[in-house]
Structure 1
Amino acid sequence: MFPSVSLKSFNTFGLSQSCNRLERIQSQDQLLTVLRELKQSNAPFLVLGGGSNVVFTEDYDGTVLQMAIQGIQVYEEEECFRLEVAAGVNWHQLVCFTLENGMPGLENLALIPGTAGAAPIQNIGAYGVEFCDVCDWVEYLDIASMTKHRITAAECHFGYRDSIFKHALKDKVIICGIGIRLAKAWSPKVSYGPLSELPAKDLTPKAVFDRVVAIRRQKLPDPEVLGNAGSFFKNPIVEAAQYAELAVRFPQIVGYGMEDGRVKLAAGWLIEQAGLKGFKLGQAGVHEQQALVLVNLGSATGADICALARLVMQKVLEKFGVRLEAEPNIIGHQQLEAENE
């Protein structure tokens, strides 16, 4: 069957790929029904959230399940609020909902694109806060057994931009909902980057939210205007000895010490120092304001984006001896290793 349904509006890069069939999943019953049908016919399928973490490099010869299940339930306890959030809820709208209803704790994660169901997969994070810091549980459907399961945050094996959903449970489950715990005793997380400039007397959840939104809008392009998937590369983590060597060669290098003694480097700084900020390769480009972001300048293909990503990885490896790793999932047959590996 020739792919016939456009996926351009279902991926934030705005890539003009297609699929055979698109199902917008708006309930768990619908998900079960569609999955049973697909399994009976042994038909391939792909689960998609907000499309903010994918690069399509070719048409998808199968069915795309776009998770659009909605719903937020709030349960108040003495020391916290517990939220049950459906997988299709827009993440930024969830952040706004919690603040508007006096439940702070997600403000550092404002304006991150995507859906709630995708948050645990990537363990999304920004400005010193990660999803794992507020996660209570994750509920998923096991594709093989067609049964629902709920696992705790500890069982998700969260790491930096990592989780069990990228490893043991990859392609085996579909996340249906998440549980979030927000402590009533709010304490601001403002030690990271520009947030540290906030005056102590003005530290409110709304003030932190406003600063995060302002920073992201200043540095990151709007996908509606310039196709992108947000930060394209993870901030690489190196051993302390390697960081010490790099700091001698590059005194201005940006790094953040971690509890285990290793150091997380700012990938955007590495890319900029490699001379690639604003660099263009055909219709794909490195954003002029934030080198961590790759953009579709108008008519780029997924192959164009991957070619640019490989070049960036190669140049950073050559200059710093540091390997970058892409954040988005590549849907197709492209590989993203640096060319000299």
Structure 2
Amino acid sequence: MYKIKYFSNLSIKDLNTFRVDLTAKKIIFIKNIKSLIYILQICKLYQIPHLILGEGSNVLFLKNYQGIIIVNRIKGIKIVEKSNNWLLHVFSGEKWHDLVKYTLNLGILGLENSALIPGCIGSAAIQNIGAYGLEFKDVCHYVDVMSFKNNSIIRMNKNSCKFSYRNSIFKNQYYSECVVIAVGIKLSKKWQPLIFSELENHMKPKFISAHQIFNIVSKIRTKNLPNLKKIGNAGSFFKNPIIKKKHAEKLICLYNIPYYPQSDGLIKISGGWLIEHCNLKNIQIGDAAIYQKKKLILINKKKATPQEILQLAQIIYRHVLKKFNIHLEPEVDFIGSIKKIKTSDLFTLKNKKIIY
């Protein structure tokens, strides 16, 4: 009935940016909503575990997946011009960086600070991606999701999505209830550059264009981040922790620690600095290591197993907790043999046996 491309018992190495070499019972590529509904109905009828994946840029598979991996390739971009804004409707299988380039070339400005962020549009909403002063929530107008219960598509406005730092309602409460189908993005025609510290060094003269920002961000990210085509990684493995002001003040008194006051009175601390000052510079578990240019990133140097990557992450977590009394929160999702694994089951101060 539907033209669906699928494979059985194949490696998922090319479907996750960590490039862990595991397998899935079945891998299915879908290009339209009807095909997605059809596959989800089969999974529901026969109680088959399933996982919807974009570029696999924010997951760590811990075991061979004993279900169906549905690879989202639902694409399309619709643009409506208003007197003061551009309204974009973007389907979730589009790549984020491709959207940034596409809009910039059309003279639709506002996404340039997020150049070269990996992943698809769906994960942009789920993770509330961000870089250099811009987060997805800043440009989000709405998110269209499809319910797993009745396949109905619901439009959620920005305020209903509960966006926070690298988080949303789709990463938590709605994770097993719906799938992101498309997002609405609203960009003002009155463009103003978002200035960040590294950008100030390039502002000669004071005026800077969106294209220049795009090029500068791309250059910085290319220089400082591992090449996904050569080194397996999922970007920042841990979030920069956000802690209470009283706790932060104690740390600031003891250490010359980078910190960033938040609008809600909390303090964001540099997670990379915490890791660097735990004497973990040269630690390596098998082929799993800390990326030296950016300590929040864990890398698969060649043939790291998921257990090696997880063990390295657990060691980092315990050291930071013991020294600074800060719980580093993983940014990645952990996928077991049939479902997502809770972070709380994997990270603890005690040297527990790895659970997956």
TM-score (norm 1): 0.96
- Determine the C-alpha separation between the residues in 2 that align with 1:77 and 1:282: 55
Alignment of 1:78-227 (within 5 A): 78-190=83-195, 192-199=196-203, 201-227=206-232
Contiguous gaps of at least 5 residues in structure 2: 1-7, 352-356
Check the 8 A contact 1:311/1:338 in 2, yes or no: no
Q: CA deviation at 1:278?
A: 4.6
What secondary structure does 1:298 align onto?
coil
Which residue of structure 1 lines up, in the alignment, with residue 29 of structure 2? 24
- Determine the C-alpha separation between the residues in 2 that align with 1:336 and 1:255: 27
Which residue of structure 2 lines up, in the alignment, with residue 300 of structure 1? 304
Amino acid at match of 1:337: F
- Determine the C-alpha separation between the residues in 1 that align with 2:236 and 2:12: 21
After superposition, the CA RMSD in angstroms is: 1.4
Amino acid at match of 2:212: A
- Determine the C-alpha separation between the residues in 2 that align with 1:158 and 1:198: 31
What secondary structure does 2:36 align onto?
helix
- Determine the C-alpha separation between the residues in 2 that align with 1:147 and 1:227: 37
Which residue of structure 2 lines up, in the alignment, with residue 319 of structure 1? 323
Which residue of structure 2 lines up, in the alignment, with residue 329 of structure 1? 333
Q: CA deviation at 1:280?
A: 1.4
Q: For 1:274, which of 268, 271, 278 is the aligned residue?
A: 278
Which residue of structure 1 lines up, in the alignment, with residue 3 of structure 2? none
- Determine the C-alpha separation between the residues in 2 that align with 1:37 and 1:314: 42
- Determine the C-alpha separation between the residues in 2 that align with 1:323 and 1:186: 38
What secondary structure does 1:81 align onto?
strand
- Determine the C-alpha separation between the residues in 1 that align with 2:96 and 2:283: 30
Amino acid at match of 2:325: G
Check the 8 A contact 1:236/1:324 in 2, yes or no: yes
1:60 aligns with 2:70: no
Amino acid at match of 1:59: N
Q: For 1:288, which of 285, 288, 292 is the aligned residue?
A: 292
What secondary structure does 1:31 align onto?
helix
- Determine the C-alpha separation between the residues in 1 that align with 2:146 and 2:288: 37
1:260 aligns with 2:264: yes
- Determine the C-alpha separation between the residues in 1 that align with 2:178 and 2:278: 39
Over the matched positions of the two proteins, sequence identity in percent amounts to 37
Amino acid at match of 2:267: V
- Determine the C-alpha separation between the residues in 2 that align with 1:108 and 1:9: 27
Which residue of structure 2 lines up, in the alignment, with residue 40 of structure 1? 45
Amino acid at match of 1:319: K
Q: Deviations over 1:21-59 (max 9, x none)?
A: 111111011111111122121211111111000000100
Check the 8 A contact 2:137/2:158 in 1, yes or no: yes
Q: CA deviation at 1:202?
A: 3.8
- Determine the C-alpha separation between the residues in 1 that align with 2:260 and 2:346: 26
Q: CA deviation at 1:167?
A: 2.4
Amino acid at match of 1:83: L
Moved more, 134-143 or 162-171: 162-171
Amino acid at match of 1:328: V
Check the 8 A contact 1:57/1:330 in 2, yes or no: yes
- Determine the C-alpha separation between the residues in 1 that align with 2:64 and 2:197: 40
Q: For 2:348, which of 319, 338, 341 is the aligned residue?
A: 338
**277 and 109 in structure 1: CA distance in 2 versus 1, 3 angstrom threshold:** farther
Q: CA deviation at 1:340?
A: 2.9
- Determine the C-alpha separation between the residues in 2 that align with 1:140 and 1:260: 29
TM-score (norm 2): 0.92
1:12 aligns with 2:17: yes
Matched residue pairs, number?
A: 337
